[in-house]
């Protein structure tokens, strides 16, 4: 095959001329590319014809060329000089603005009750005056379901009781003497409402409603509690005037307080004795005001304070299985308790020496086996009191 360009005789089937390297049978794209390269070689005769990249079209970069002409050193120097002159001229005003902003940030930070409590803590101190008594409303709610068992089997159901008590109490501080102040908690009204019975007003002369009090030192801490054997008011005093620890208390601070109180549970009176485990939970918004919120759990043991006549002296021991917890709110401005809610739920187990002390009129169904005219043989057993008890104290 002769080359059309140099007429060199090439072998049959050759794709290009072996003398001048003329390509045979080019496509349209190859011919166009070849024409472009030929034009580049004519425009740039000094370029290496063997490097295809040398014949690529180099685009113009006017922005880059313009940036290369800028005197950047002089430009930066002028900017720095302008900034320096601005600060030198208005340094006093800039300092005042920064100070005002810093003061505003500090005020917002330190006026937050939560931040103050976290950083500085809070002192729990009581303050009561004679001229401004503090009124409180008190509520007891008790739900009781009881039954007896002997030999691991039901002996007799003892019925259910639902009882509510509502009262009003006033806290009044006396004139301090010898750096000690007597604060008296005086009931002004007490109403008892029991399921299946008519509500009745308990006279204030009742022994369980005798006034109680606390003795405060100059720093507002309780030195002593005054309780002249008053069952209802003694229970109120335990939760209306808790003992606070000395010093500032921050968030999550905790302490223990020894307590004891008597609670009426149906025909029984139970003595609770042990300790409350307190913890500072933080600051809480309640009724459009900020109060210190405290939570606690009760670790208490039980014993029978007073039993029905048919079981006098018959209870050997008492056990309680359940939960006891509460939460309170303290006013750090007025320095007294705003609310306290305490809940107990569980089962009291009374181990008795003779289950047949339960009188016949209270028995349902299963009766003791004994010969006619003879008393049944004493048999030990248990009396169960399933209890749901709530105490609420709120500033009126």
pLDDT at 37 over 80: no
**pTM of the predicted structure, to 2 decimals:** 0.70
Cβ proximity of 30 and 40 under 8 Å: no
Residue 384 in domain: yes
Cα 385 from Cα 348, distance rounded (Å): 5
34 plus 147 within the same structural domain = no
For residue 22, what pLDDT is reported? 73
Of the pLDDT bands very low, low, confident and very high (cuts 50, 70, 90), residue 28 is: low
pLDDT at 353 over 80: yes
190 plus 234 within the same structural domain = yes
171 plus 250 within the same structural domain = yes
Range in 12-21, 41-50, 157-166, 378-387 with the lowest mean pLDDT: 41-50
197 plus 266 within the same structural domain = yes
Residue 7 in domain: no
For range 83-112, the mean pLDDT: 76
132: which 2 tokens?
Answer: 């401004």
Cα 368 from Cα 356, distance rounded (Å): 7
260 plus 206 within the same structural domain = yes
Mean of all residue pLDDT scores within the chain: 86
For residue 254, what pLDDT is reported? 93
Residue 84 in domain: yes
Of the pLDDT bands very low, low, confident and very high (cuts 50, 70, 90), residue 54 is: very low
DSSP class per residue in 165-203: EEEEEEEEE---BTTBEEEEEEEEEEEEEETTS--EEPP
For range 272-294, the mean pLDDT: 91
167 plus 82 within the same structural domain = no
Residue 203 in domain: yes
219-228 pLDDT, tens digit per residue, is 999 999 998 8
For range 171-192, the mean pLDDT: 94
For range 72-82, the mean pLDDT: 82
Higher pLDDT, residue 93 or 190: 190
Cα 266 from Cα 264, distance rounded (Å): 6
Higher pLDDT, residue 3 or 126: 126
Q: Where are the beta strands (DSSP E) in 44-133?
A: 122-123
Of 142, 123, 133, whose CA–CA distance to 333 is shortest? 123
Range in 35-39, 104-108, 209-213, 285-289 with the lowest mean pLDDT: 104-108
For range 375-394, the mean pLDDT: 93
pLDDT at 48 over 60: no
83 plus 165 within the same structural domain = no
Residue 233 in domain: yes
51 plus 131 within the same structural domain = no
Q: Domain range for residue 96? A: 72-111
Higher pLDDT, residue 117 or 321: 321
Of the pLDDT bands very low, low, confident and very high (cuts 50, 70, 90), residue 6 is: confident
Higher pLDDT, residue 136 or 198: 136
Q: Which residues contact 340 (CB under 8 A, 6 or more apart)?
A: 239, 240, 242, 326, 327, 328, 329, 391, 392, 393
For residue 302, what pLDDT is reported? 95
């Amino acid at each position: 095959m002769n080359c059309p360009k140099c007429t060199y005789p090439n072998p049959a089937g050759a794709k290009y001329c072996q003398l001048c390297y003329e390509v045979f049978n080019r496509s349209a794209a190859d011919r166009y590319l070849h024409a472009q390269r030929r034009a580049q070689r004519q425009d740039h005769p000094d370029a290496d014809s063997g490097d295809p990249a040398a014949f690529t079209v180099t685009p113009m970069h006017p922005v880059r060329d313009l940036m290369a002409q800028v005197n950047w050193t002089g430009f930066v120097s002028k900017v720095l000089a302008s900034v320096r002159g601005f600060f030198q001229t208005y340094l006093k005003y800039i300092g005042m603005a920064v100070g005002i902003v810093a003061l505003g940030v500090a005020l917002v930070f330190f006026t937050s009750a939560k931040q103050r409590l976290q950083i500085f803590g809070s002192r729990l101190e009581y303050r009561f005056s004679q001229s401004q008594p503090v009124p409180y409303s008190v509520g007891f709610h008790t739900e009781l379901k009881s039954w007896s068992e002997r030999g691991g089997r039901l002996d007799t159901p003892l019925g259910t009781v639902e009882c509510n008590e509502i009262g009003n109490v006033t806290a009044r501080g006396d004139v301090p003497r010898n750096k000690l102040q007597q604060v008296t908690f005086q009931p002004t009204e007490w109403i008892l409402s029991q399921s299946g019975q008519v509500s009745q007003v308990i006279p204030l002369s009742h022994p369980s409603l005798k006034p109680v009090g606390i003795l405060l030192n100059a720093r507002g801490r309780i030195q002593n509690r005054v309780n002249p054997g008053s069952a209802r008011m003694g229970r109120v005093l335990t939760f209306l005037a808790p003992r606070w620890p000395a010093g500032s208390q921050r968030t999550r601070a905790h302490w223990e307080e020894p307590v004891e109180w008597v609670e009426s549970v149906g025909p029984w009176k139970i003595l609770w004795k042990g300790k409350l485990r307190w913890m500072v939970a933080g600051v809480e918004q309640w009724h459009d005001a900020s109060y210190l919120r405290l939570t606690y759990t009760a670790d208490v043991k039980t014993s029978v304070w007073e039993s029905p006549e048919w079981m006098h002296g018959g209870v050997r021991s008492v056990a309680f299985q359940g939960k006891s917890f509460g939460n309170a709110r303290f006013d750090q401005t007025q320095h007294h308790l705003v609310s306290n809610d305490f809940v107990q739920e569980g089962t009291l187990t009374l181990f008795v020496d003779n289950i047949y002390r339960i009188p016949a009129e209270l028995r349902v169904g299963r009766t003791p086996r004994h010969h006619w005219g003879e008393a049944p043989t004493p048999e030990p057993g248990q009396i169960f009191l399933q209890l749901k008890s709530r105490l609420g104290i709120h500033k009126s």
